[in-house]
Amino acid sequence: MPTLKFRGPVTPTGHRIELSEPLVTTVRGANWPTQTYAVTVYDGLVAVTCNMNGYSEKKHLGMAINRSQLFGQSFLNMTSFVTGTPYRFMIDEGKIPGSVDDKWQRLAPEHRYLAEICTVAKVGDRSISELYNLIVTEPNLILACDDMIRALENVFIAKVNCARVIDGLKNILSPGTNRSKQWETLRISLNLGREYIEFVMKESKHPRHGSHVSDKSEPAHEVIYRTWIIMNRFLELKKRGIEKLPEEEFPLITSR
């Protein structure tokens, strides 16, 4: 049975958290292979070992990383609950079947398709500093951006976070008006079709109410993709200090 190993540092550092023996969880389902996850904690690291029948890197690597992150963080969540200290970890290294010399590889998550969306700023010039100055003056926008980035850290909360991001943007854009008018203003200002936004909001409905598993739900990456586009357009609007984006640059979007 193929074995995958993942690990990442616990923050805050300097706290002694250890497990005397691994915590083992087995996952079975009709649409995926049987998987076993063993969580250990040592030397300031959370380590998760995954054994999976019929493993295919193309089909199952993302699943293995997401679930390893979930189970590792679940142990830290219980420790946080007992101690009152908010512990976090993020997988940043792994040993994947077929890797060279069985060495640990860097697994820093990169979503290049999202980087291609961003037009409002680029790494390496003053535009990021300018964007920071734009965001930091608006507390609700600070929190919306934080929600959006945390959606990348945990696929299981991504839909709820993304819906809250968009909900927040409409409130920032036209505070104090009724919700219908707020949604209309957001769509008109950013050149977005009603269904483009509604897709994200509908996909968040079940997880928002505590039901995170649905056979009819769409993958989270489409929700994240649309949220990135909406946020980029919103920031372009704020940066330019205008009420509506020019359609020649930002044409109406009704679907992906």
Residue 218 has what pLDDT? 65
CA-wise closest residue to 24 among 3, 54, 51: 51
Which backbone phi and psi does 106 adopt, to 5 degrees? Answer: -65, 135
Instruction: Share the mean pLDDT of the chain.
Output: 90
Residue 215 has what pLDDT? 45
C-alpha atoms less than 13 angstroms from C-alpha of 32 in its C-beta half-sphere: 16
Residue 211 has what pLDDT? 66
Residue 36 has what pLDDT? 94
Q: Which residues of the chain have pLDDT under 70?
A: 100, 109, 209, 211-218, 256
Q: Write the pLDDT tens digit of every residue in 19-39.
A: 878 999 998 877 778 899 999
- For the CA atoms of 142, 147, 151, 153, the dihedral, rounded to the nearest 10 degrees, stands at 70
Instruction: Indicate left, alpha or beta for 124 from its phi (over 0: left) and psi (-120 to 50: alpha).
Output: left
> Is 169 in a helix, a strand, or coil?
helix
Residue 212 has what pLDDT? 62
Which backbone phi and psi does 211 adopt, to 5 degrees? Answer: -105, 100
Residue 19 has what pLDDT? 84
Is residue 175 within 8 A of residue 202, CB to CB? The reply is: no
Residues 6+ apart with CB under 8 A from 204: 159, 160, 162, 163, 164, 223
Is residue 121 within 8 A of residue 131, CB to CB? The reply is: yes
C-alpha–C-alpha distance, residues 205 and 210, integer Å: 9
Amino acid at 219: P
Is residue 42 within 8 A of residue 52, CB to CB? The reply is: no
C-alpha–C-alpha distance, residues 127 and 133, integer Å: 10
Q: Write the pLDDT tens digit of every residue in 49-91.
A: 999 988 888 888 888 999 999 999 999 999 999 999 999 999 9
Beta strands 3-11 and 45-52 are antiparallel
